[in-house]
Amino acid sequence: HENTGLQCQPPLEELNYGATTAHVRQGPSMPVPGSGPAKRDYLTVAVLCYGNLINFMDWFIVPGILLDIQKYFKLSDGDTGLLQTVFILCYMLAAPIFGYLGDRYNRKIILGTGIFFWSGVTLGSSFISESYYWVFFLSRGLVGIGTASYSTIAPTIIADLFEEGKRTTMLSIFYIFIPVGSGLGYVLAAGMADVMDDWHWAFRITPCLGGLALVLLILLLPHTTPRRTAAHRALSISGTIRVAAEKPGVQRTAKTTWCQDVISLAKNWSFVWSSLGLTAMAFVTGALGMWIPLFLYRAQVVQGIVSPCLQESCSSSNSQIFGGITIGSGILGVIAGAEVARRLRKINNKADPLICATSMFISAVCLYVALMVAQVNILSTFIFIAFGELFLSVNWAVVTDILLYVVTPRRQSTAIALQILVSHLLGDAGSPYLIGIISNAIQAENTHSFQWSFWSMQYSFILCVFVGVFGGGFFLLTSFYIEEDRKEAER
């Protein structure tokens, strides 16, 4: 178990965190155990960011070589979409379990075990033959379980190391590696498939990088990380300030049960509506991430730019371009979102959800235009897809920061886990499969041709535009409750 560095604690409801800590009287001569030097904190963030990079590279290896995998295992659009759905379902079902464990046990051990597990499974999946396609599906599910441990716990460590202003910056850096890792997943998978003339090699690089991440985690991450930075500073007990080291072996127990935490979060409307907004984001990004390279390939075939791929190894240039767009738009979007939020918070307490709502609406418009021009101009399609991804990426760090200041610290791992569960269950767990099923249904009703193969995917993607608009509406609803919920969390 992790030690909190505190021996005597008042009820957790009485503690102040983050920005509210300034109101707590501190003893001038009382050093705080467990609060290491700032350099160690930044080193911890660097290690966690590298792990996040590898995490999301593994997510998007399959979409990067989707055409090759579809041909190798002889999968329809519906079955192909099911690949990512299996991954996300296992990921989201495992997230609440790791959220529970992360609030109560040693987070370093959980992170290390997760990295080792998903890296080993990814390596093993590169040796699966075409007759065992179901084993390949199973392996993607197991990788999802491994990555859930990381996405659930790593942000809470960063949140505990920094106060509110610096926390936003550190979380922004952490979340930049979502689009960067995703884009590198496409580029790595497509590049290795082209170089080795065998798509299986795409699954043999990230396990090596994951091994390095595991070594860095073991060597550089503290064995225990402080649970609540602000709580380590001062505790008022009977009118005096007392801070003492916790005795070894003393277990920190939660004051509330998991069910009580869930009920409390369900009454937090800022958390509920922002989680539904994130769900819409996940739906759109899941569908785009899985199908856009294949959609672009079909558009190019219809335009006569490329010939239909009939050989075993197909060109993955669209995946490489899309990967580059994902990296660039992701970095710019996350940085821009954090900076705009930082500036607008000074003049509007509702800035965060309003930023998220605006970016969702603009992204939906960009996506619609990209779909409509795909048959006549591929360059314009790439441009509008880039802007659509840019405005989606604006929200990543901002949504997480909303959660961290409307939810009390002792429930944050649980809240993140529940947000992961809901956003993936109703979002990207089903969207790749749903798009594939709709595409299959449209093709079944019409003559088999490259033109209808393209149209079926184009019409299916229109669903994402409507979901994006709904997402903007959910963030608007968040703005009605955010001030009250933030004050409640501070109390």
Overall size of the chain counted in residues? 491
- Dihedral pair phi/psi, residue 466, rounded to 5°: -65, -40
pLDDT of 26 higher than 80:
no
Q: Tell me how far apart the 2 most distant CA atoms of the chain are, in Å.
A: 81
Tens-digit pLDDT profile for residues 379-403? 999 999 999 999 998 987 788 889 8
Q: Which residue has the tokens 């920190």?
A: 252
User: What percentage of the chain carries pLDDT values higher than 90?
Assistant: 23
The rounded distance, in Å, linking the Cα atoms of 255 and 258 is 10
For 164-181, what is the mean pLDDT? 79
Question: Which tokens go with 140?
Answer: 């993607």
pLDDT of residue 95: 81
Tens-digit pLDDT profile for residues 218-264? 887 766 655 553 334 333 223 322 333 333 444 444 467 878 888 88
37-226 and 258-490 have identical folds: yes
Instruction: Tell me the range of 165-174, 409-418, 467-476 where mean pLDDT is highest.
Output: 467-476
Looking at residue 438, its amino acid is I
pLDDT of 371 higher than 90:
yes
Write the DSSP assignment of 325-388 as a string of letters: HHHHHHHHHHHHHHHHHHHHTTT-TTHHHHHHHHHHHHHHHHHHHHHHHTTT-HHHHHHHHHHH
Assess if CATH 1.20.1050.10 describes domain 258-490: no
pLDDT of 477 higher than 90:
yes
Instruction: Tell me the range of 169-173, 196-200, 392-396, 458-462 where mean pLDDT is highest.
Output: 458-462
If you ran DSSP here, which 8-state letter would residue 227 be given?
S
Tens-digit pLDDT profile for residues 325-334? 988 988 898 8
The rounded distance, in Å, linking the Cα atoms of 303 and 296 is 10
Decide: residue 249, CB within 10 A, 0-12 exposed, 13-18 middle, 19+ buried.
exposed
Tens-digit pLDDT profile for residues 189-227? 888 888 888 888 889 888 999 899 899 888 877 666 555
* Strand partners for 237: 240
- 275 pLDDT band, cuts 50/70/90, is very high
pLDDT of residue 313: 62
Q: Indicate the class that CATH gives domain 37-226.
A: mainly alpha
The answer to whether 64 and 187 are in contact (CB under 8 A) is yes
The domain segmentation of the chain, as residue ranges, is 37-226, 258-490
For 145-151, what is the mean pLDDT? 86
- 305 pLDDT band, cuts 50/70/90, is confident
Sign of CA dihedral 262, 268, 270, 272: positive
pLDDT of residue 103: 74
